[in-house]
A and B are shown apart, each in its own frame.
Chain A
Amino acid sequence: DTGVSQDPRHKITKRGQNVTFRCDPISEHNRLYWYRQTLGQGPEFLTYFQNEAQLEKSRLLSDRFSAERPKGSFSTLEIQRTEQGDSAMYLCASSALDTERNQPQHFGDGTRLSIL
């Protein structure tokens, strides 16, 4: 179990640029979640996948955000035309599929995005 891996750890970019983050979940985990956390606040749900299917998207997720998990393994989160308000920590979590019982979500270290 190598844990959830996120890349890059930090990203600094100018307003208006596109950015892409990668998340590698724990290898046997079917579920993959993206959250956004602004300074001093709790994480907010963005979207999640079960294998390659995107099952839920938050209404917080504007059209500038897109997430993929093409082969049911790693996932990417892309933000187009970044804005100042996109500055945040983007957290990825993964879990085994849980139907009857909760399976805990394991979090990565996050990608901190700073918009200049």
Chain B
Amino acid sequence: AQTVTQSQPEMSVQEAETVTLSCTYDTSESDYYLFWYKQPPSRQMILVIRQEAYKQQNATENRFSVNFQKAAKSFSLKISDSQLGDAAMYFCAYRGRNAGGTSYGKLTFGQGTILTVHP
């Protein structure tokens, strides 16, 4: 079974600074996707960024970028120029093929990292 581990329960950053959130995962599959989701307090889960395992190039979405190390099974999220609105719980998630291998299945989430942004 796949597992996702986020070893940082809480992180904090000053506004306009850069912060990196860590995530490691365990899988024996070669075809999968990795995601970072953001969940503000009492609000909806929002997709921040995703990475295809077969792509060596790290994904980037505006101020958000990832460092994907496939051999090390590591997938960290870097937030540049942090803003107050970035404060939220961040989840790393894994998605592999379903049991039949015909499509992609469920998401497996890590425990989450609470990010606090100080003005």
Give the B-binding residues of A (Cβ under 8 A). 33, 35, 40-45, 48, 55-56, 91, 93, 97-99, 102-110
Contacts and interface: CB of A to CB of B under 8 A. Distances in A.
Interface stretch (B12-20, B43-51, B61-69, B74-82): B43-51
Contacts of A102: 33, 50, 52, 95, 104
Contacts of B93: 42
Question: B interface, by DSSP: helix, strand, loop or mixed?
Answer: strand
B102 A108 contact: no
Contacts of B99: 56
Given A107-B45, A109-B43, A98 B103 contact: yes
A102 B54 CA distance: 12
B91 interface: yes
Contacts of B30: none
Contact of A99 (B46, B102, B106, B107): B102
B9 to A, nearest CB: 8
Contacts of B52: 102
B21 to A, nearest CB: 13
B28 interface: no
Given A42-B91, A102-B50, A107-B44, 20 more contacts: A33-B107, A40-B112, A42-B6, A42-B109, A42-B110, A44-B109, A48-B105, A55-B98, A99-B103, A102-B104, A103-B104, A104-B35, A104-B47, A105-B47, A105-B107, A106-B47, A107-B45, A108-B44, A109-B43, A110-B44
